[in-house]
Amino acid sequence: MQSDFFHGKNSDTWDSRQEAMVFLPRFARADAARHAPLPIADMADLFGVTHRTLHFYEEKRLIRAERLGTMRVYDAENIRRMAVICACREIGISLAAIQDLMEELSDVRTQDEADSLFQRALEARKREITADLSSINRQIQQIRTLIERTDVLAGVPVEHRPSISDLERRCLILMTEGFGGRDLAERLGMDMEALARLEDDLMEKLGASNRFQAAAKAVMIGILPH
């Protein structure tokens, strides 16, 4: 990955910089030193991001690149910082929260403090996700209740659902996907006149006043999957 340039006289300068690394969460140590100094292309490959993403994090002062000759490179500390950033982003921690975390980490004086700080950030994110899941589950239950009520409100008991053909079912599915008019006719392999007759039949069967209502009603009463 790295050029032989990094193993020459300039590497001594970089080695001296590693001696004053700040404390970061323990997991972020993962072989960072052996990668440094890392040119931007290799940094992007290591973390599976684009150059633009790295520039963005630099603009937000989360990481910093320096120059080694004509090359833009990252030292071990910034590789480790990037490991923390990526871990946080993967679990949905906001950019603002990551900035706060990195700011707090810059002030810690021991490894235990750094690990404890990161642990608190993880616990906070876990509470957020748990709250989101609780909200999502409530919404799913409300949807289920509404669907059950729809059978009655729509005047179509479950046991009396209208029978539809495969072509009509395909038409309804395409309607729910947003197709209409000539695009819908082409998808079904028919002309506009035949499509109009098909839509009229569906609206009559479903007691709908237009094709959009027919498609929605088909989902609500269980003719189409939710």
Q: In the CATH scheme, what architecture does the domain 158-220 have?
A: Orthogonal Bundle (1.10)
Check if the beta carbon of residue 49 is closer than 8 Å to that of residue 27.
no
pTM as predicted: 0.57
Q: Would you kindly state where each structural domain of the chain is located, as residue ranges?
A: 4-123, 158-220
- What's the Rg (C-alpha) of the chain? 29
- CATH topology assigned to domain 4-123: Multidrug-efflux Transporter Regulator; Chain: A; Domain 2 (1.10.1660)
Task: Give, for all 226 residues of the chain, the pLDDT tens digit.
Answer: 444 434 443 444 444 444 455 789 988 765 666 777 899 999 999 999 999 999 999 999 999 999 888 888 999 899 999 999 999 999 999 999 999 999 999 999 999 999 999 999 999 999 999 999 888 888 877 777 766 655 544 554 555 677 888 898 899 888 888 888 888 899 999 999 999 999 999 888 888 888 778 888 888 777 777 6
Length of the chain: 226
Same fold, 4-123 and 158-220: no
- List the beta strands (DSSP E) in 54-187: 66-68, 71-74
Alpha helix (H) residue ranges in 154-210: 166-176, 181-188, 192-206
And the tokens for 58? 């630099």
191 φψ region: left (φ > 0), alpha (ψ -120 to 50), beta (else): beta
The sheet carrying 66-68 orders its strands as 38-39, 71-74, 66-68
And the tokens for 190? 């028919």
